[in-house]
A and B are shown apart, each in its own frame.
Chain A
Amino acid sequence: MATLKQKEQITGWLFVAPFLVSLTLFFLYAAGRTLFFSFTDFDLFKAPAFVGFGNYLRLLSDQLFLTALTNSLSFAVLVTISQTFLALLLAIQVNRAVKGRGVVRTIFYLPSIMSSAAMTLIFLWLFQREGLMTQLVQFVVNNRWYLLVFVGVWVATQLALVLNARRKYEGVSFGDPFFLVFGLFLALLVSFGLSLARVLPVYEEQFLISWLNTQAKFLFMPQTLWSVALMNIFTTVPTLMLLFLAGLQTVPTSLYEAAEIDGANGFQRFRDITIPALAPVTFAVVTLGIIGTLQMFDQVAILGDAAPLQSRITLAFYIYANAFPEGAASRIGMSSAAAVILGVLTLIVVYLQRAFGVKDTVN
């Protein structure tokens, strides 16, 4: 007769069994076979021929693989850092709003719901050489004086009003909404008035910016991938924002109140209470971010001919392009070797970010 503990164990295993079966089949077996194929020369039809480390050496001398590797790494670093910061900022904003928090949260979350393919197609249209994004940049550059005046007047009015109020009252924040709206109207009035009087110069430059369809590199990454990064951040920040939001709501308000009594200002409260309390969530967000960005594939595939290959290729797409080359025999050996390298790379990066201080326990 099985003891209660044994019965519980058996029940536990039974519950986990379906997941274990699919894990074994689709992951362990598949990973094992990929590792095996990475040491062979296989084209899906003739028997695999053992070539030892030949595939790995060929990969290291393949220019396209090295390009894909640098692209993937730079993309991962840029997007993970940006989306973590932005998600945290957004979460703090949404957490603060008392009225209409649900509506704000929903609106901010919308980009994440849309399918990746649909978003890519829309961005393809937005990012045309003479598309909306270029026109936006054109507008900003051509009307830069008026925009400067607008921002300057707004900031100046806000500062003036807040400092003035602080002489008489306590606890007036720099972002006071009433003053903000008043400042906005004043700034609009001033800028429009000046533009009607044609006081400042407005330029007529025509821009042709190739956001996607270009071989140019900007800093360490192809320009195309900067545009794809923009789109990626736009669609993944909302999901990560939700994670941070959940984390923020578990921080006890008593900690904040105690800190306020002790004289800590907003920034100090943020740095010494919020951030440490969010450590486990940050760990999750950064890890998910690294894994997701290193394996980015769908946007590259959908872009297709809209951008040159070396400007958009990532490791995941390199693996796919070698497994199913257009009109040529499959190079399963190279593809598997690249897949093994991608897997090992992901593991290394996740362990590194853990070692460098993103802890997964609350201090």
Chain B
Amino acid sequence: MTNSLKLLLAGASALAMTAAAQAETVRIAGWGGAEVAIVNGLLTDVLAEDLKAADIQVTYEPVDGDFSQFIINGLSAGTAPDLFYTDIFWSRSVFAPGQADPVPGDTSAFAPNLVEAFTYDGKVLALPKDFNTLALFYNKDIFDDAGVEYPTDSETWTSLQDKLVAVHTALPDVQGFCVVPDYARFATFALSTGWEPFNAEGKTVLDDNFKRAFAQYTGMIDAGAAVAAADTGQGWTGGCLVNEISAVAIEGAWMLGGIKDSAPNMNYGVTRLPKDETSGQSGNLIFTVGWAVNANSAVKDSAHKLAELLTSEKAQQWVLEQGLALPSRSSLAETDWMKGDAPEQITNRTVFAGLEDGNVEPFFFGDLGGAWMEPINTAINSVILGEADVDTAIATAQARFDELQAN
């Protein structure tokens, strides 16, 4: 009896060991903050069965602090995880040196804009997991108190400015909007005029359309419709909104997190971004993050499989219903959840619709990276501070672009 029991135990443990040996461990990494809860929820809850079926063990290592620095250093040193977040903003620095393994499967189920954003040299190098665009958030109570109508989907920048001036006149303690010297928000003005960041030769030309948008954006302060964010001690337009400093803010779906944290009882609404009068269109930016597989990983196949699981319809549906991020799969644009009337649902629907704005560009600037935004940001800042007029500021920025893009 004892002998056969021992044999049974030996056999069982041998089986267990071989089963464990077959399961591959995939190291994944993303940034910290709210993302940790999402990924942990997916791994332990939603995808637990699928992971077991695919024999994949996951080690999740969220990184607080500068993620792009962490990943570049890791890839260069050979210690990077097998599967990691890739933000479109710095994706070039991972794709260009061939550090991402091409996605093997079919990507047609994902929104074409997003797949295009992660395509380099004809190959798709990351699976888009979610995205964000910008929308106009407004504080309903402030508009009610001022007796001004809420912004609607059919505003133009001028009609919006008029409403903000009316709000500020009725409530002198409240500003219409907080102007930030940041292309990431100014782009909504610039792109709506039809201006393109890069012309056919890949150069940046600040033409009359750009000047019109620039004058409008920086002129909001003098018109009484806005205040410089720096003068209020806030770093982003959302901060002004949640602290009741401004009536509107231009942010993405991440605004929901900010409202939940700082102003959970705020009565807010969301509309599409205003249009430019002359072109009749609105402009928007696409912020997107994808899962990229390390080209030097020892478990590439499992990593690709895991990426597919993490971006599967089931996973994205779950994330969407938590109100945490917008799905990158086209099919999920039409789910029932998206059609609801709760503020989160309206927000997500509006942000999703931003993909179809007339002039949409990904938040990506080729080889120059973040340095591309610097001349424009400096120009906006110098006009806001009164240190230069619109023409001088634009001329300086153009000279800087010519210098940066000379080679």
Contact = CB atoms under 8 A, between A and B. Distances in A.
Contacts of B378: 215, 308-309
Residues of A contacting B: mostly: loop
Given A46-B97, A125-B233, A325 B371 contact: yes
B235 interface: yes
A77 interface: no
B382 interface: yes
Contact of A213 (B73, B369, B374, B385): B385
How many A residues are at the interface, by size bracket? 20 to 34
Interface string A324-361: 11111110000000000000000000000000000000
Nearest to B97: A45
B387 A328 contact: no
A214 B8 CA distance: 78
A329 B387 contact: no
Contacts of B403: 63
Contact of A45 (B75, B235, B364, B382): B75
A44 interface: yes
B76 A327 contact: no
B367 A324 contact: no
Nearest to A128: B233
A328 to B, nearest CB: 3
Residues of B contacting A: mostly: helix
Contact of A326 (B76, B370, B387): B370
B231 A130 contact: yes
B90 interface: yes
A160 interface: no
Interface string A202-236: 00000000100111100000000000000000000
A328 B369 CA distance: 5
A43 B97 CA distance: 9
Given A44-B73, A309-B374, A328-B93, 20 more contacts: A44-B76, A128-B231, A129-B228, A129-B231, A213-B381, A214-B385, A215-B382, A306-B230, A308-B378, A308-B381, A324-B66, A324-B72, A325-B369, A327-B89, A327-B90, A327-B93, A328-B90, A328-B368, A328-B371, A329-B97
> 7 tightest CB-CB pairs across the interface, nearest first?
A327-B369, A326-B370, A328-B369, A45-B97, A327-B90, A44-B76, A327-B370
Interface of B: 66, 68-69, 72-73, 75-76, 89-90, 92-93, 96-99, 181-182, 228, 230-231, 233, 235, 364-365, 367-371, 374, 377-378, 381-382, 385, 387, 403
Interface of A: 43-46, 63, 125, 128-130, 210, 213-216, 305-306, 308-309, 324-330
